[in-house]
Amino acid sequence: MSKFAAKNVLITGGASGIGRIMGRMALERGAATLIIWDVNRTNLDLVLAEFATIGAVRGYIVDIADTQAVEECYNRVKREVGEVNILINNAGIVTSNSTFDRLSIDEILRTMTINATAQMVVARQVLPDMIARNEGHICNIASAAGLIANPRMSVYAASKWAVVGWSDSLRIELHEAGSAVRVTTVTPYFINTGMFDGVRSRILPVLDPEYASRTIIRAIERNTDFKCIIRIVVPLSMHFVRLMQGLLPTRLFDYLFGRVFGIFHTMDNFTGRKTMAEQQK
Active site residues: 156
**CB-facing half-sphere around the CA of 257: CA atoms within 13 A:** 23
Per the CB < 8 A criterion, the answer to whether 41 and 61 are in contact is yes
Q: Please, what's the b/e burial string for 82-91 (b: 16 or more CB within 10 A of its CB; e: otherwise)?
A: ebbbbbbbbb
108: left (phi over 0), alpha (psi -120 to 50) or beta: alpha
